Amino acid sequence: MHQFQPYPMEVLEFNPFKKIGQDWGVIVTERDGKTNGMTASWGSVGCLWNMNIATIFIRDSRFTKEMLDATETFSVNFFEEGKMKAAMGYLGKVSGRYEDKLASARLTVNHQCETAFLDESNFVLICRKLSATRLTEESFLDPSIKENFYKDGDMHTMYIGEIMEVLAR
Ligand SMILES: Cc1cc2nc3c(=O)[nH]c(=O)nc-3n(C[C@H](O)[C@H](O)[C@H](O)COP(=O)(O)O)c2cc1C
């Protein structure tokens, strides 16, 4: 296993548009000894309720939603730029409901206290769930959002998590 160090948030240089939107992250959840990872490119980081937070958006159909709803914590994992795109493509296409995706993608599970994360990552947000809000049609003020993203009714739930720790190596 690699050595990860806690990274002070005050000195963090993090471009969310690039890191989340272009490089992508992997959301890792663990329950009853089963660990799953799902690629995500929608999300944000910021401040809310006097805490540093990460927000992720998970559709109803994802196995990750089932896992998240049954757990207290999750991790958001980032890799060295340009690396692991094939693995992330796999985790973003296949569902963990039917197989151990992390094993198939040859990824290694590490832990920070009770929270699972990927040993191959170089930057990890360890998060504690604070809220879960399912977006509904009534949420959208711009009608094109429903039209463009939710025609099939597979809605997102917005999970806000407190960033308890940032790990880097
Ligand atoms: C680049 C990329 C970004 C994605 N971002 C999201 C996202 O932010 N939210 C989401 O619900 N699904 C997203 N997906 C789709 C899930 O990763 C995909 O459906 C995955 O197979 C779900 O796995 P699970 O069923 O094991 O949770 C994305 C897929 C890719 C390839």
62 within some domain: yes
133 within some domain: yes
| Residue-level pLDDT at 12 | 87
**57: confidence class by pLDDT, cuts 50, 70, 90:** very high
**Which of 62, 85, 98, 104 has most ligand 1 atoms within 8 Å of its beta carbon, as the pocket-test mutant?**
62
What tens digit of pLDDT does each residue of 6-26 get?
999 888 888 999 999 999 999
Alpha carbon distances (Å) from 17 to 26, 34, 122: 15, 31, 18
In angstroms, the CA 44 to CA 52 distance is 11
Residue 79: which CATH number?
2.30.110.10
6 within some domain: no
Q: Please give the tally of structural domains in the chain.
A: 1
76 within some domain: yes
In angstroms, the CA 59 to CA 146 distance is 14
Residue 100 has pLDDT above 90, yes or no: yes
Across the range 27-53, mean pLDDT stands at 97
Which residues have CB under 8 Å from 61's CB, separation 6+? 154
| Residue-level pLDDT at 163 | 98
The gap from C-alpha 127 to its chain's centroid, in whole angstroms, comes to: 9
79 within some domain: yes
User: Is 40 a pocket residue for ligand 1 (Cβ < 6 Å)?
Assistant: yes
| Residue-level pLDDT at 10 | 86
CA of 38 to the centre of ligand 1 (A): 6
10 within some domain: no
